[in-house]
């Protein structure tokens, strides 16, 4: 009898173990593994998903792995898949996606990719993806109204019926800003009436300034978007390394008020508050403590003299320092901002002096003469943007010098270099947004098309690049220099793309 019971127990254990193994074998993994063959088709099929691009050696990827796995398991309930791509194996995928560092997280929405703006904790990933899974605008019951308008630092609340065109406008705007603000609407007209609003109405609630701002314009998408952006930042807040992104995302030029000492700040706040109100929606105003951010003031071409004022147009890559011989008063700042808004101010560009002699094979370009030389339509211009301390720039120097000597006799070509640390680039062309050093571009004759050089840094490759992309024919003498093979760097540290991919950005 005992033997029979042992056999039955053994048999049942075997059956259960086999079932467990079979179950484990057939269970779909929480995180999908994508490769060159599956990436495009899988991505195109997803209405909402999150993808991690990683490298096995990356310490940040290893640290995030458990949280990513747990988030994937949690989000299976919501049918939101998570996937990962090993960039050391699937190089073409990561190159096509322009992955700058590891780990990089991308949100897929209806087959298109978007930047993931959350943190790397499981709770953050789950909350972020669930937020994008829901409607961008929440319908709020009248009993939930008081709580909802306090649910975030900035809450946008609509007062209209569920089928109204105003709601469609708000939904369109909310899809762009759902990561920054909370959006809701209430169809109870009694609530709107109590607040002195008529439907359709819109109010921005916030935990600063006036606490609530009613929208008084027409319900057009651009008008609503501009209103929300203008009301999402304080009239006279304080800008720091942590809050700069908030001001930049708002999309308005930033009127930067540099101060030293709390007494100075209080006087400036009293004087400039009316000016900030006058130009709201045109220029954002923010205080910056010069004690900690003198370097930022110098970047705006201001001297170490306080208080000081400058306008920084982040989108256009331009800056407008106010004359520091003038006192920072409401009248002077108002005139200065009005001149900027009217297009009557010239941007300021940091520049080295124009060299008295520029007879070397490589032309030493400075900001003051950039447009004249770089955009001369009669010549192709090859320009190296360098930093004196960059080791890769130093390695390139003999090759670039030899290139200049070999091609100097070509009248339709200029080989130039520019110190990008001591000279601003007086152009807002996106192709001249320099990601690292050295960066080499060709500005073509005739149409001034800007073409970035992506090859190795050998003499032969540079010559072939000019021949293939320039508008003017060239001839050259053979170079007496060793071939140098290296990738174009894409970080200010002077590191190459694949070297920087595993650096925390």
φ/ψ of 311, rounded to 5, equals: -105, 130
Cis peptide before 100 (omega within 30 of 0): no
What is the token pair recorded at 117?
């703006």
Quick one: which of 193, 315, 337, 332 has its CA closest to 249? Answer: 315
Report DSSP state, residue 419.
E
Collapse the DSSP code of 452 into the 3-class scheme (helix H, G, I; strand E, B; otherwise coil) and give the result.
Answer: strand
- Distance, in Å, from the CA atom of 257 to the CA atom of 240, rounded to the nearest integer, reads 12
- Choose among 77, 178, 181: nearest CA to 135: 178
Structure tokens at 341: 């808004």
**Is residue 22 annotated as part of the catalytic site, yes or no?**
no
Contact by Cβ (8 Å): 441, 452? yes
What is the SS3 assignment for 110-170?
Answer: CCEEEECCCCCCHHHHHHHHHHHHCCCCEECCCCCHHHHCCCCCEEEEEECCCCCHHHHHH
- Which residues on adjacent β-strands are paired with residue 114? 107
Contact criterion met (CB below 8 Å) for 255 and 337: yes
DSSP state of 367: G
258 forms beta bridges with 288, 308
Q: Catalytic residues, which ones?
A: 58, 61, 390, 393
């Amino acid at each position: 009898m005992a033997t029979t019971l042992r056999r039955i127990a053994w048999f049942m254990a075997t059956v259960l173990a086999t079932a467990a193994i079979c179950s484990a074998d057939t269970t779909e993994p929480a995180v999908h593994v994508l490769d060159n063959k599956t990436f495009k088709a899988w991505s195109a099929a997803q209405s909402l998903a999150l993808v991690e691009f990683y490298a096995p050696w990356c310490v940040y990827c290893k640290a995030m792995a458990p949280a990513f796995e747990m988030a994937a398991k949690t989000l299976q309930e919501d049918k939101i898949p998570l996937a990962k791509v090993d960039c050391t194996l699937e190089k073409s995928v990561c190159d096509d996606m322009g992955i700058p560092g590891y780990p990089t997280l991308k949100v897929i929405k209806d087959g298109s990719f978007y930047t993931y703006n959350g943190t790397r904790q499981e709770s953050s990933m789950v909350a972020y993806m669930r937020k994008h899974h829901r409607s961008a605008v929440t319908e709020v019951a009248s009993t939930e109204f008081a709580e909802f308008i306090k649910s975030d630092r900035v809450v946008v609340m609509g007062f209209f019926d569920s089928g109204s065109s105003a709601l469609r406008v708000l939904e369109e705007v909310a899809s762009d800003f759902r990561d920054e603000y909370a959006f809701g609407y209430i169809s109870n007209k009694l609530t709107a009436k109590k607040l002195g609003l008529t439907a359709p109405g819109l109010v921005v609630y916030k935990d600063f300034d006036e606490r609530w701002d009613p929208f008084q314009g027409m319900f057009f998408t651009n008008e609503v978007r501009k209103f929300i952006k203008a009301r999402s930042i304080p009239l006279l807040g304080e800008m720091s390394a942590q809050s700069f992104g908030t001001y930049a995302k708002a999309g308005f030029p930033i009127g930067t008020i540099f101060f030293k000492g709390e007494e100075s700040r209080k006087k400036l706040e009293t004087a400039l508050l009316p000016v900030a109100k006058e130009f709201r929606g045109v220029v954002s105003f923010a205080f910056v403590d010069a004690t900690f951010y003198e370097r930022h003031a110098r970047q705006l071409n201001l001297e170490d003299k306080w208080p000081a004022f400058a306008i920084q147009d982040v989108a256009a890559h331009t800056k407008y320092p106010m004359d520091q011989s003038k006192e920072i008063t409401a009248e002077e700042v108002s005139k200065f901002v009005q001149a900027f808004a009217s297009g009557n101010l010239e941007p300021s560009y940091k520049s080295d002096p124009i060299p008295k002699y520029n007879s070397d094979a490589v032309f030493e370009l400075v900001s003051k003469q950039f447009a004249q030389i770089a955009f001369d339509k009669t010549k192709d211009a090859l320009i190296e943007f360098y930093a004196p301390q960059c080791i890769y720039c130093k390695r390139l120097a003999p090759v670039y010098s030899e290139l200049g000597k070999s091609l100097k006799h070509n009248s339709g070509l200029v080989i130039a270099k520019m110190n990008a640390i001591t000279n601003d680039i007086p152009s807002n062309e996106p192709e001249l947004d320099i990601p690292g050093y050295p960066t080499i571009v060709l500005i073509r004759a005739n149409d001034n098309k800007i073409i970035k050089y992506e090859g190795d840094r050998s003499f032969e490759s540079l010559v072939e690049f000019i021949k293939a992309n320039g508008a003017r024919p060239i001839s050259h003498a053979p170079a007496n220099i060793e071939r140098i093979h290296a990738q174009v760097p894409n970080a200010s540290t002077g590191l190459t793309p694949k070297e920087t991919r595993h650096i925390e950005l």
